[in-house]
Structure 1
Amino acid sequence: MEPRSSKHDREGKHWLDHFRRMGIGRTTDRTRGLLEFCDTFDSIELWADPNANAQLILIWLLDFLRPYKEVSSKLSLVQADDEIANYLPESLKEWKLPVFKVTDRHLALASRAWQAWRAPTPEGCFELLMQDTTILPRLRPAIIALLEELPDSLNGIGASEQLMLEALSYGCTDPGQALYAARDRRVINEGEAGDLFDELAQCPEPLIFGLGEGPFDPSEHTRYQRYRRAKVGLTKLGQAVVEAEDDFSRHNPIKRWWGGTELTNERLWRWDREIRSLVAPA
């Protein structure tokens, strides 16, 4: 978000490289940092999708801008009910969504939520569910969706993994279609879903068969070719896990990040889907 410098030596390294020239407003200076860019406007509307990743970006951005009163005082917030990118600009003009002035309360809650997401345990995020977050109305559902990605208290896999395995248990043999089941949650993207799917197929005791021998090349093109040729299904362990009759973590190593929390078999924070409660490592 800083001004362009020598370290932004390739297209895509500076934040403004991701904007079309026609979409960056009144300025054509593509060397500016975010704060300088914001200085050129009298008012700024932030439009946020309801999905979890968009809400994370929103709280990060509000936390980032909070110390800069000359910018944060210009902010207004529009919370969309659907994904904005699915609509043409002409359609968005017809939307009559309420516009709320961003206040210190918005900024304080965003900072609290962002620090909770970056913390070394999920406890802060869970505690947010006990607090009044209505001033950011999409934040609570987003936090719940993210907490659901923690390993389940019964079978040791997150909600997106569960949906992909359920698709296979219902007879799906196409890896690409199984990935769509996870994408429908709007928490992880297709690449992240593919990473999870591959891991379930190449772990020491796989839950999925039919993808061939790992380790797998994670590149998009190679994955597409591998998935296009494959017919997949659940192993015996995979069927037991999807039915919550066995625990993935009893058979396979876990080492991944959830926000600022490192999850391992020895330090495995879990989520109880039945009562929507955080379960600390045993």
Structure 2
Amino acid sequence: MTAMRLEKEALMPRSLPEHPNFEALKKQAKSLLKSLNEQEPGVSRGLQQCQQILAQDYGFINWADLKRTVLGREKSATIRHIVCGDSCGATLRNSTVPGDIFVWHEIYITGPVPGNVTEQQFSFIREDHLANYFLHKSSPDDLKRQAKEKQARLDASRDYHEVVLWFDACLFDQTHLIHLLNHLSNALTPDTKLSLICIGEFTGFQRFLGLGQLNPEQMASLYDTRHLITRDEISLAQKAWEAFRSDDPRQIEAVIAGDCKPLPYLRDALIRFLEEYPSTFNGLSRLQNEILEAVATGALQLGPIFSKVSDAEPRPYFGDIMLWDEISSLASATTPVLHVDGPQTFKSILKVDSEPVPKSELNKWRVSLTDYARKLLNGEADFVTTNGIDRWYGGVHLNGMEAKWRWNSQNMKLIERP
């Protein structure tokens, strides 16, 4: 293609995208300059000339006119991006995507998520759980204040022109998605647009594990793929969130059996959630069984265990703290399943506000199976009837020496026990 043809094509009229990004336009001008210079290296051209070409291409008198218009639009159309991980938030901040970044810190797949409480009570219950989960020490008054402030920061989304939700297909993200769709569909004003980016694959990744894998340029490439939330998406999210908070897990099965097309990754995520119920085989959850299988097949350090368990999941949904907590609970059971030996107490690596343990230090902990664990793997013992259970699954609380609900992996159904 000749340089003259490139210039002609660049001057063909086109419209600005609905959400123009000035940084992206600057890159486009530089790309045009590079293409022209590669075609005719002997011809002297500058960036300003290419900016002028691009400005006229978009129907403006000059580059300054385009800049003034685009920056004015960006200022009047304030945007908030909501993500559910600090890593994704940092990547977005380092990208060319315009707007503010808000990280919603939650882990709905652990602890109580009850449905028979007020929103204020719900916020406090969740804040209390997260404080205990991450070994924070907070008074009830501090927890109430923190819960109120956290909710206020989320509800400040109504002050923006547009709110964009960024999620992937894993269980962790999908539970955030249904909660935020349910909440924001009621909390936002009619003047605020609610948009969604939700992906399960990304070009160039043979095994895509989630948004956390992407670099700033890759994240930015998703920005223009967002779409306005539909009524069908909101309706399904509301049903799913209500079911997730119900004390009857059959409501989740009803959502799974229904039409989940509006949120295409939700069905698999909810099935994966139900697989965390105690199994009919040995009373362990799928994740707990995967940990035991990893150790049984030679992963005796934390790093290799994390890798093996992640490989066993089509869409890994847990971080290191979540997996360490599961290992800790198996090791501290009345009849232990694992032995964990290391330089200090294993609980010390669960505290997120302390100094993070370097990866090189993690593998100083050694993990091994107990004889009881081998019986569990063979289906010769039951973890719940031996150790009891005290665990929440959304709005369901299993407590005692038997679990009312069990997961049958053969027919992929919950079984109710008397």
Q: Structure 2 length normalisation: TM-score?
A: 0.55
Q: Check the 8 A contact 1:202/1:215 in 2, yes or no.
A: no
2:257 alignment partner, SS class: coil
Post-superposition shift, 1:50?
Answer: 0.7
After superposition, the Cα gap between the structure-2 partners of 1:106 and 1:236, relative to the gap in structure 1 and judged at 3 Å, is same
2-structure distance, mates of 1:71, 1:176: 48
The match for 1:255 among 368, 371, 390 is 390
The match for 2:177 among 27, 48, 58 is 58
**Structure 2 equivalent of residue 211 of structure 1:** 341
Post-superposition shift, 1:191?
Answer: 1.2
Post-superposition shift, 1:72?
Answer: 8.6
The CA RMSD measured in Å over matched residues stands at 3.3
The match for 2:367 among 232, 242, 245 is 232
The answer to whether the aligner puts 1:136 opposite 2:263 as a matched pair is yes
The match for 1:79 among 198, 203, 215 is 198
Post-superposition shift, 1:231?
Answer: 2.8
Post-superposition shift, 1:22?
Answer: 5.1
The answer to whether the aligner puts 1:281 opposite 2:417 as a matched pair is yes
1-structure distance, mates of 2:369, 2:325: 17
Q: Check the 8 A contact 2:171/2:317 in 1, yes or no.
A: yes
Q: Which residue identity lines up with residue 235 of structure 2 in the other structure?
A: A
**Structure 2 equivalent of residue 8 of structure 1:** none
2-structure distance, mates of 1:22, 1:156: 43
The runs of 5 or more residues in structure 1 that have no matched partner are: 1-14
The match for 2:157 among 18, 30, 37 is 37
After superposition, the Cα gap between the structure-2 partners of 1:207 and 1:33, relative to the gap in structure 1 and judged at 3 Å, is closer
After superposition, the Cα gap between the structure-2 partners of 1:109 and 1:235, relative to the gap in structure 1 and judged at 3 Å, is same
CA-to-aligned-CA distance 1:22-65 (integer Å, 9 cap, x gap): 5895579xx97444434332x44322111111011110000001
Structure 1 or 2: larger helix share? Answer: 2
**Structure 1 equivalent of residue 125 of structure 2:** none
After superposition, the Cα gap between the structure-2 partners of 1:245 and 1:223, relative to the gap in structure 1 and judged at 3 Å, is farther
After superposition, the Cα gap between the structure-2 partners of 1:46 and 1:138, relative to the gap in structure 1 and judged at 3 Å, is same
1-structure distance, mates of 2:197, 2:277: 29
**Structure 1 equivalent of residue 325 of structure 2:** 195
CA-to-aligned-CA distance 1:81-120 (integer Å, 9 cap, x gap): 2412211221234459854431222111101111111112
CA-to-aligned-CA distance 1:199-258 (integer Å, 9 cap, x gap): 11121111112438x985354379959954333221221011122232111211211111
What is the aligned-residue identity percentage?
26
**Structure 1 equivalent of residue 23 of structure 2:** none
2-structure distance, mates of 1:150, 1:219: 26
2:384 alignment partner, SS class: helix
1:263 alignment partner, SS class: strand
1:46 alignment partner, SS class: strand
2-structure distance, mates of 1:223, 1:151: 31
2:407 alignment partner, SS class: strand
**Structure 2 equivalent of residue 268 of structure 1:** 404
The worse-fitting range, judged by mean Cα deviation, of 139-148 and 91-100 is: 91-100
After superposition, the Cα gap between the structure-2 partners of 1:196 and 1:36, relative to the gap in structure 1 and judged at 3 Å, is closer
1-structure distance, mates of 2:298, 2:243: 39
The match for 2:279 among 142, 152, 160 is 152
The runs of 5 or more residues in structure 2 that have no matched partner are: 1-82, 102-148, 201-207
1-structure distance, mates of 2:242, 2:233: 14
Post-superposition shift, 1:166?
Answer: 0.2
Q: Check the 8 A contact 1:217/1:223 in 2, yes or no.
A: no
